[in-house]
Every structure is written in structure tokens, then in C-alpha cells.
Amino acid sequence: MNILYLSFYFEPDLSAGSFRNSTLAKELSKQVGDNSFIDVVTSQPNRYTTFKIKAESKESIGNMTIHRIQLPEHKSGMIDQANSFRTYFVQTLKITKKKKYDLVFASSSRLFTAYLGYVIASKQNIPLYLDIRDIFVDTMDDVLKNRALKTLVLPFLRIIEKKTFFYASHINLISEGFKPYFAKYSQARFSNFTNGIDDIFLNNKIVREEEELQSIKQDTAKETFTITYAGNIGEGQGLHKIIPQAAARLGNKYKFRVVGDGGVKGLLENELKQFNVSNVELLPPVSRERLLEIYNESDFLFLHLNDYKAFEKVLPSKIFELATFNKPIIAGVGGYAKKFIHENVDNVILFNPCDADSMVSKIKNYEYKNVERQEFIHKFSRENINKEMARSILSYL
């Protein structure tokens, strides 16, 4: 049996898609057995232009072969991303042209990886299993501000979406908030395997229990509290709409540390200048090992989504990362993400996206404490989720 596994991001890249798919592919490789083969087609690490790391273009690990496609240089702009996806699309078709598969699995946030899976699966008349991490058409409807461009692009995207999802045998929705949108694709089976917590976070033992107890006493008297955000700095996160405004209102008792890069980092920098704040530190992307240290050095961990209607359906992977620490989380989210956090995650300061006044007020009135989230950690272990999802995928062979 041969499986084609499509994921635009894969290790050693730094992104939620990479972390999810690298571990899932390995679990799939274990379960499928020695007499079956998995072709992973992905890209060379490209998530951040400021974090360069090279990987082998072709790598064999047991019954799994990883093909990494070299993409053109890009800076996360829309045109750059379109060119990157086009290169990935064309090169994947070349790699798979003369191969016969029994199943295509595609993990997709930007629709075109899912569509690529449809093109190959429909041509070979085999099952297509989709892992949907975002509703791309919904997001583009919010993000595109040019009305003429929206009129041209959205109908085209909807045609691709309809073809892809109506062909799929199985659609996994990473967020239950997506369910109403996908109700019309009744021919497919559905599942809800969420993001999970990676072992690197589960095994994080830098902060000892005695130190945690001591820190509770110390933190209440601290002169400066550090609020850390780590990840993509894009339109979807909307950091430029919240961090400069909140930093100016909170003053020097609170320091923001922003670790990462992305398409609107320049916009964030401009807003920081406009608000003339000195309590925000911008750092480039770092390895996950260094990220653990930064999180442990912080007092609050920060998560934010822009105030777009499309984002009311999503479930950010960042929640699963941050909740493994005993630190209080500051989360500016709405819709399903807000509901999920309220039901599953303790010790969270919740506020509506882009509402700096509410965020500042809640932080100032918060009584600092550290809380272990053992129940959450047990429930959302990536290892357990991957085992169940791999069994679901293999059921189509």
C-alpha cells in the first residue's frame, strides 16, 4: 500500500503545520507497517525569512520518504505566497507523476494543498483524506480589502473549494467551529482531531515545583511583569492592533516580548513608534528549545487573533502550547476559541480581539497566580491524538 502525504510545512520548519504533520506522519509510518510506503511531499523550511535552516531535499526514514521542494525567496506577502504555492503545486505533480497511490492525505490551511490532493486523488480515482486547519475562503473574504480583487478572487476560490471538498472521502476539522460551514459536504465522513501538545512541551521541566511555589510569592511583588508572544506576526494575529495600544496604557510595570516574524511586522513596528512606547521588545524567531526558556522566564503568555468574522470559527494551535505552562494566559479571541478556552483552560484573562481597554483593565485587576493544567495536558497530548488520527486515516486503505 502506498500513501501520499501532502503538507506544505514539515520539520525542521517552525510552524503549527510543521509540528502537527511531522509527528502525525511518523505515527502513520509506525502503524502502516513495513510492507507499505509513505511519500511525504513538503517544502524546504520557509516559514520565516529571518530563521534559515536547510534540510535534505530527499530523506528516507524507514518506510517513509520525505521530498522537500525548494521555493523561491519570499517575505510572506500575498503575491510571494502565491508564487511559493505555485512552485510547490507544480513540483509535487512532477514528483508524483509516475507513481501509483492507494490514498492521498492532505493537511491544508490555505486550500491549495487540499486542492492539490484532490487533483492527484481524482486522477488516480483513490480516496482523499483532508485535514482542514483553516477555512481559506472565509479568511480571504475578511482579509481582502480591495473590492475589485475580492470580486475576481473569491468566485475562483469557491469553485476550487467545492470541487475539493465534494470529492473528499473524509474531512477532519481541526476546530468544531468549522462544522456549520462544512455541513453541505454530506458525502464525506467527518472527524474532529484537534491540535495537540508536543512532547517537547510535555517534558518541559525547567521550572521545578519548589521554584513555582516560591515564584508565586515573588511575582506579586515584582516591579516588572513580562508578557510574551511567540509566533507569526501576520494579519491574522493583528498584533499591531493590540500590543502598542495596550503597552502604552499599561506603562513600564509591564513589558511585552514579541518573538517571531511575519508579513505585518513592519506595521507593528510603525505602530510602536506612533504610540512612542519603550516597553515592547521585538526578537527574531528562535528554536523551540530556546522558546521553552523564554516562556519559563515570562510572567504572562499572550495569544491574540484579529477581529475578523472568519476567526470566530478557528481554534489556534497556540492554545495547546501555552496551556502546558503554569503561567497565566492573556487571550484576545472570540467565537469558538473563546468558548473552548473557557471550557478547557484555567487561569486565563479573556478579552475580545483588539479591545485594548478591556485587556488592560483585566490585567490590572488580575491577582497573579500560577496554576498547573494537568487535566488539559492529559486530554490533549499530541501522541494520543496522533494515534487515533492515524488509525482513522488507515481505515481507508
Asked if 371 and 347 touch (Cβ cutoff 8 Å), the reply is: yes
pLDDT recorded at residue 78: 75
Confidence band for 15, pLDDT divided at 50, 70 and 90: confident
pLDDT recorded at residue 223: 84
Helix (H, G, I), strand (E, B) or coil at 61: strand
Which homologous superfamily does the CATH classification assign to the domain defined by 200-379?
Answer: Glycogen Phosphorylase B; (3.40.50.2000)
pLDDT recorded at residue 72: 87
pLDDT recorded at residue 390: 98
Q: Rounded to whole angstroms, how far apart are CA atoms 220 and 225?
A: 10
Single-letter amino acid, residue 215: S
Which homologous superfamily does the CATH classification assign to the domain defined by 2-196+381-394?
Answer: Glycogen Phosphorylase B; (3.40.50.2000)
Exposure b/e, 138-147, CB count within 10 A at least 16 = b: bbbbebbeee
Confidence band for 55, pLDDT divided at 50, 70 and 90: confident
Check pLDDT > 50 for residue 218. no
pLDDT recorded at residue 288: 87
- Per residue in 303-318, pLDDT (tens digit) is 999 999 999 999 999 9
Confidence band for 204, pLDDT divided at 50, 70 and 90: confident
Asked if 135 and 181 touch (Cβ cutoff 8 Å), the reply is: yes
Q: Rounded to whole angstroms, how far apart are CA atoms 68 and 43?
A: 4
Q: Quick one: which H or E segment has residue 78?
A: helix 78-96
Which of 42-46, 75-79, 134-138, 237-241 shows the lowest mean pLDDT across its residues?
A: 75-79
Residues in the chain: 397
Asked if 128 and 118 touch (Cβ cutoff 8 Å), the reply is: yes
pLDDT recorded at residue 77: 67
Check pLDDT > 70 for residue 219. no
pLDDT recorded at residue 76: 60
Same-fold call for 2-196+381-394 versus 200-379? yes
Check pLDDT > 90 for residue 280. yes
Q: Treating both helix axes as pointing N-terminal to C-terminal, what angle do 243-250 and 265-275 enclose, rounded to 10 degrees?
A: 30
Q: Which three cell numbers stand for residue 50?
A: 529571518
pLDDT recorded at residue 220: 52
pLDDT recorded at residue 373: 94
DSSP secondary structure string, 196-261? -B-HHHHT--SS-HHHHHHHHHHHTT-S-EEEEEEEE-STTTTGGGTHHHHHHHHGGGEEEEEEEE
Please give the model's pTM, rounded to 2 decimal places: 0.90
Confidence band for 196, pLDDT divided at 50, 70 and 90: very high
pLDDT recorded at residue 207: 45
Q: Which three cell numbers stand for residue 330?
A: 492573556
pLDDT recorded at residue 49: 59
Q: Rounded to whole angstroms, how far apart are CA atoms 114 and 161?
A: 9
pLDDT recorded at residue 67: 98
Check pLDDT > 50 for residue 213. no
**Domain-by-domain residue ranges, the chain?**
2-196+381-394, 200-379
Check pLDDT > 90 for residue 62. yes
- Per residue in 248-273, pLDDT (tens digit) is 999 999 999 999 999 899 999 999 99
Asked if 43 and 8 touch (Cβ cutoff 8 Å), the reply is: yes
Contacts 24+ apart (CB under 8 A), 159-165: 160/111, 160/112, 160/115, 161/111, 161/136, 161/137, 163/115, 163/118, 164/111, 164/114, 164/115, 164/117, 164/118, 164/130, 165/114, 165/130
